[in-house]
């Protein structure tokens, strides 16, 4: 009966989604990289960075930047913005406070929507927590109480070479836009709120989004796919966790939204230190695009702390950080260019 109304385009359940992290694990020391080695004390435990050759990449970009500074035509040093759609970010963390996106059109704490975007005091992003169809319901404090979003953000952009904690993949070249919708004690959130977060990221100019959440099901949610499609039209990448069910996403049950058939999605599985599929990770020759480090990943936690966690949630920000880093070298690249390079 509802679909018979001319005023309704889509009628479907508002699914509850969850994070894609495994249990927290203690990190082990990794072999020292032989190129650019940040002085961050926990970097030696970031085995994932060496496994994807980040020390070599950082050294190369540093050398190229020196050539650029001396007048040579070389690799650029643009700043990208990653919308971390998750459970919030500890924006006061010593390793993240300088990596946070700041809404330059907003004045903090004055209770006024200075930039007229419909969100009051959205300095670092926004928090949607009630599944309302109204995207402006929520608040401008996307603080992380549970750690999942902060952990993901550290892998992407934690400040490096500051003698503090860890180093992020795209340190110094990207900013974190905190888009909180996983608000429950168990890391759950409403699909409607994830859609609001995607739309906000597009409206506020994020380069890409990192999405360490999802659900296992037989069908994709049309409203969520439509939001991702609109972000794609804005040239935005959607990096998504494949899921932690040891499930073949090529089969009838898939990890969504990572398995949605949209060109701008990069579906990420989790790999072990030995380069093998993590036992929990979803997989699929057609549905999972890339595997990244996803076990014993050391990163930032709320309250200035650090911890190691595992899951496709932890693998996804490696790819998001890499995409941000690649985009920073040439902001004129399209999402298709970046996806092809990855």
Catalytic one of 148, 196, 260, 299? 148
Q: Name the band, by pLDDT with cuts 50, 70 and 90, for residue 199.
A: very high
Q: Look at the chain and count its residues.
A: 342
The DSSP line for 264-310 is: TEEEEEEE-TTSSBPTT--B-TTT--EEEE-SSEEEEETTTEEEEEE
Residue 2 has pLDDT above 80, yes or no: no
How far apart CA 268 and CA 144 sit, in angstroms, is 23
Token pair 């020391």 is found at 29
* Structure letter (DSSP) for residue 83: E
Strand, coil or helix: 138: coil
Region 29-52: mean pLDDT is 82
Q: What is the model's pLDDT at position 186?
A: 80
Residue 223 has pLDDT above 90, yes or no: yes
* Structure letter (DSSP) for residue 139: B
Write the pLDDT tens digit of every residue in 291-329: 999 999 999 999 999 999 999 999 999 999 999 999 999
CA atoms within 13 A on the CB side of 327: 27
> Is 264 labeled as catalytic in the residue annotation?
no
* Structure letter (DSSP) for residue 99: G
Give the H or E element holding residue 47: helix 47-51
Catalytic one of 40, 86, 95, 121? 86
5-19, 46-60, 72-86, 229-243: segment of lowest average pLDDT: 5-19
Q: Are 201 and 209 in contact (CB under 8 A)?
A: yes
- What are the extents of the domains in the chain? 14-29+39-58+76-341
> Is 151 labeled as catalytic in the residue annotation?
no
Specify the fold of 14-29+39-58+76-341: Rossmann fold (3.40.50)
Catalytic one of 51, 212, 313, 328? 313
Q: What is the model's pLDDT at position 175?
A: 98
Q: What is the model's pLDDT at position 245?
A: 98
Write the pLDDT tens digit of every residue in 128-184: 998 899 999 999 999 999 999 999 999 999 999 999 999 999 999 999 999 999 997
Write the pLDDT tens digit of every residue in 51-82: 999 999 999 998 877 766 654 444 445 689 99
How far apart CA 205 and CA 326 sit, in angstroms, is 17
Q: What is the model's pLDDT at position 328?
A: 95
Phi, psi of 232 (to 5 degrees): -60, -40
How far apart CA 31 and CA 33 sit, in angstroms, is 6
Write the pLDDT tens digit of every residue in 188-197: 999 999 999 9
Q: Average pLDDT, whole number, for the chain?
A: 91
> Is 93 labeled as catalytic in the residue annotation?
no
* Two structure tokens written together for 318: 């490696």
Write the pLDDT tens digit of every residue in 254-300: 999 999 999 999 999 999 999 999 999 999 999 999 999 999 999 99
* Between residues 65 and 230, the one the model is more confident about: 230
How far apart CA 199 and CA 87 sit, in angstroms, is 17
């Amino acid at each position: 009966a509802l679909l018979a109304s001319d005023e309704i385009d889509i009628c479907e359940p508002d699914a509850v989604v969850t994070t894609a992290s495994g249990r927290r694990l203690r990190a082990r020391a990794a072999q020292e990289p032989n190129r650019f080695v940040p002085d961050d004390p926990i970097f030696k435990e970031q085995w994932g960075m060496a496994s994807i050759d980040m020390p070599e990449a950082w050294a190369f970009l540093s050398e190229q930047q020196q050539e650029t500074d001396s007048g040579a035509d070389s690799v650029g040093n643009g700043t990208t913005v990653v919308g971390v759609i998750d459970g919030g970010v500890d924006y006061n963390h010593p390793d993240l406070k300088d990596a946070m996106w700041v809404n330059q059109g907003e004045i903090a704490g004055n209770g006024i929507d200075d930039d007229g975007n419909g969100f009051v005091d959205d300095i670092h992003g926004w928090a949607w927590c009630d599944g309302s169809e109204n995207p402006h319901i929520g608040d401008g404090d996307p603080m992380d109480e549970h750690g999942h979003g902060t952990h993901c953000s550290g892998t992407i952009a934690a400040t490096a070479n500051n003698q503090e904690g860890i180093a992020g993949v795209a340190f110094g070249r990207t900013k974190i836009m905190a888009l909180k919708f996983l608000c429950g004690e168990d890391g759950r959130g409403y699909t409607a709120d994830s859609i609001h977060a995607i739309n906000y990221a597009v409206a506020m100019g994020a380069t890409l989004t990192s999405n360490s959440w999802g659900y296992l099901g037989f069908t994709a949610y049309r409203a969520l796919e439509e939001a991702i499609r609109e972000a794609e039209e804005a040239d935005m990448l959607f990096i998504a966790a494949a899921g932690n069910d040891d499930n073949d996403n090529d089969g009838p049950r898939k990890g969504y939204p990572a398995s949605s058939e949209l060109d701008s999605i990069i579906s990420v599985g989790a790999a072990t230190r030995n380069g093998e599929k993590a036992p929990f990770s979803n997989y699929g020759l057609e549905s999972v695009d890339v595997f990244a480090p996803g076990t014993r990943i050391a990163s930032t936690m709320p309250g200035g702390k650090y911890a190691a966690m595992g899951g496709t949630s932890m693998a996804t920000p490696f790819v998001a950080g890499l995409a941000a880093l690649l985009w920073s070298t040439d902001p004129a690249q399209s999402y298709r260019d970046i996806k092809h390079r990855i």
